[in-house]
A and B are shown apart, each in its own frame.
Chain A
Amino acid sequence: MAGHEYYEYNLDNLNYNSAYGLIDGFASYANFVGRYTGGTFSSPGGNMIKTAMESYFGRASYIYDEKYYLEASIRRDGSSKFKQKDKRWGTFWSVGAGWRLTGEEFMKGTNSWLNDLKIRSSYGLIGNQSGIGNYSGYQLWSYGAVYTSSTAGTGIPASYTLSQGAFVNDGLTWENTRTFDAGIDFTMFKRVHGSIDWYNKNTINSVYNQPIAISLGQSTITKNSAGLRNRGIEVDLNIDIIKNKDINWTVGVNGTHYTTVLTKVPAGVGSDALNGNWTAGVDGWSANGGGSTGETAYLRGVGKDFYNLYFFKYGGVDNQTGLPLFHHRVTAADHAAGKFESTKIGDDIKTTDYSLASRYEMGSALPKWIGGFNTSFRYKQFDFSAILAYQLGGKYLSVEYANGLYMNGNIGSAMSAELLNNTWTPENTDAKFPMALYGNTFATNGATIGSWMYSDLGLFSASYLNIKNISIGYNLPASLLSKIKASNFRVFASADNVAMITGHSGYDPRMSLVGGLEVGAYGYPYMSTVSMGVNLTF
């Protein structure tokens, strides 16, 4: 099979009130500043998108004797997202092979219990351009005006403003990912069906927003300069435990373990102060990619997990003052200033001076293992099924706790019942939580000391077991169906999101939209629903 594909997307509209263009013959709203009242639009606007993609591709597959499988593909893609001609095209390919061992003579002896066994593997190079903006290689300017009438009245510019946007890297190209996959599919005793897959995806030139000091002009420069490795194993097993006329019972279990690790970063990333590592904020969480924040949430580095949470460490309550204690890692600068000299550099002290609080690696937001169970059981006309989801390992910072429920000074707002009789008082100096001070002062609650400056007080295990669905039903037997001239009659009850078991109540790790944290208003809880009904078919 071979093919050629060309794709072009064009969208074009421009408000009628655009005027005062900067560049002749450039019909883009960005080139106009007019502003008029009384119409549908108050200022120049519109939208123009133009992108193009061209591909050539071919694929061949070969199967011999239902035993040997071969497949190869190759494609060459060009994208308008890349500014420079020589960066625009990429060649990608894959080869794969499979072998059904149970088709071989020498496997005859195992036929009694091993019904099917196939091993397979593939290797390839795939390209990605999805994270790259449509015109990322162009340095942009913005054009505006100051108007003669200052209220939103007439649109005659008194003077124009023009400013140069951020510096860009115009040499971006396709991200290349080397993928390797090996798997095994099997059926045993005609009842046990399973597959196991191991994969390794190495992105060798991932597009990366390399942080730079803002004194150089901006906070990041984008480069094809990072390496990222996704590696994991997937297991899927289904067992027909009982299979006869009256009873049918199957159980399924699946799960996956994966890691995301940075393997390479550009020179200059990372700081000596952090042993070559660096801090990063959370990714955008709203649909259009907005909402990201540069404020620290992760410590990243080569070989480190990508979602390595990085927060302050709560050290309990100071028995004397009732104030929260925070861990501080003693530095050479401390010793030079004559502070904490009895503690070794790199060791911890606890202090109520939150301005000294140090950040610590708190573990990954990613689970060690995540998956589900399902079972269905039928006894004569009755049936039952359940679907469960689980996660083992991983950390979760509940912003709701850190910014709300543990804010012991927020009188009048919802607070965690854990605080009841468990805040410091002169009589209760061993309390878990600091003294409740009236007034929303950051540093006195122990959970947060500023915007996006959380301690691990609100950090919980992300392990959970969730009962996603339970349903029971009863099907009217055929003998009765014929009497009412129906072809099917079923009474059922079904419940979704039945129960959630976590290490600590009040949060839902599934709400993590940005790698280990939920974000404010976006944290709508999952609904629990129960439905009952009758299906009747004539």
Chain B
Amino acid sequence: MTPSLLTFQEVRFGYNRTEAPVFDGLDLSLKEGRITAILGPNGAGKTTLLYLVLGWLKPWAGKICLLDIPIENYSRRALGQHISLIPQSEHTPFEYTVLEYVLLGRAPYLPPLGAPSQDDEKIAYEALVKMGIGDLYDHSILTLSGGERQMVLAARALAQEPKLLLLDEPTSHLDLSNKVRLVHILRKLKNSGTTILMSTHEPELALALSDDTILMEKGRVLTSGRTAEMVTEENLSKIYHIPVKTVFADGKKFIAWM
């Protein structure tokens, strides 16, 4: 019913032409205003898939369309206004303040030789507040903890005001309370109309957050659909190669692996 924001048609992609491709004829479609999780073990090709969506990697064959227009037809600027990425981690040796760093997310809205205005600063500050770290705005990013840094990266992606937000293993540096905070923030974002695509190797996160789930294993999309139907004992045991059980408590599904 809801229109597709992003579609993959027969996408073929590999890193090395002499080897078998990572994706061979991949079809996907992301619905607007939903949260989709790419779930699979390490090395399944989740990040590769995100980079294809971002346009950073180019498919050998097939079509990737955003709002029915092939992504290669977008200018760099226009694509930056539509899609933003929260990388898994990022390192810089320079002492930026948190706000200066988040302001970098305004780049696709600025003229090629421009610098952020006070309005941009306001948007960046609001992004920090949304991530619950408004009071850190003037700290040096080098003094932040791993979790805080992840929140700064998220704020930078929000400052980009994307239609489609990509997250690469968003919870890998987060403790439990930060994880819960992120889940709440992402839900709120979804309610305000942002489409979210995230990679994760944690089935718990997919269950807690995503409407749809794409199950991946060794560069193959095993199956995809509603999260409740995808995250099952059978599917999880299959992709992780260990026996996984699901249990119900408080009317919610939980994963048991020990």
Q: Indicate whether A and B interact.
A: no
